[in-house]
Amino acid sequence: TSKLKPAALYRQAMCARAVGDKKSELKSYQSLLKNYKYSTLATETKYQAGQLLLGENSKLAKKYFEQVLHSNIDDDYKTASEFYLAKIEAEKLSKNKKQKPIKIKEIESAFRKYLTKYPDGRLAPDVADTWIKFNPKMSSKDYTLAAKAYILAEIRDEALKAISKTDIKDSWAIQNLIYYAKADNKKVKEITEEGVSKYSANINYKDYQKAINNYIKTFQSTDSAIDELLKTAKGEGVDYIWNLKCQQTSGDSKYNCYKDLYTNYPSSRYTQTALSAMFFEKIKQKDYANARFLGKDFISRYPDSKILPEVLFWQGKIEQKYHNPESTHYFQKIINEYPDSYYAYRSFWILNGFKDATLRTNIEYKPVMYPYKQPSKNDILYVLMTVNDYEMIEKFSKDKFIQSWAEYEKGNYATSTHIAQEAMKNIKDKPAKSDLRWRLVYPQNYYIQIRNNAERYNNNPALIISIMREESHFNSEAQSGVGAIGLMQLMPETAHDIGNKNGISFYTNSLFNPELNIKIGNLYYSTIRKMLDNKDVSAIAAYNGGIGSVTRWKNTLKYSDTDEFVEQIPYEETKTYVKKVFRSYWNYLRIYQK
Question: How long, in residues, is the chain?
Answer: 594
Note whether 437 and 416 are within 8 A (CB).
Answer: no
Note whether 130 and 112 are within 8 A (CB).
Answer: no
Note whether 511 and 453 are within 8 A (CB).
Answer: no
Note whether 152 and 124 are within 8 A (CB).
Answer: yes
Q: Which of 495, 492, 443 is nearest to 468 (CA)?
A: 443
421 Cβ contact list (under 8 Å, min separation 6): 441
Note whether 177 and 210 are within 8 A (CB).
Answer: yes
Cα-trace Rg, the chain: 29
Question: DSSP secondary-structure letter at 99?
Answer: -
In angstroms, the Cα distances linking 592 to 37, 76, 372, 436, 581 are: 45, 39, 18, 11, 16
Number of H helices, E strands in the chain: 33, 0
Measured distance CA(221)–CA(230) in Å, rounded: 15
Reduced to 3 states, what is the DSSP secondary structure of residue 358?
coil
Half-sphere exposure of 236 (CA within 13 A, CB side): 12
Question: DSSP secondary-structure letter at 165?
Answer: T
Which amino acids are annotated catalytic? 471
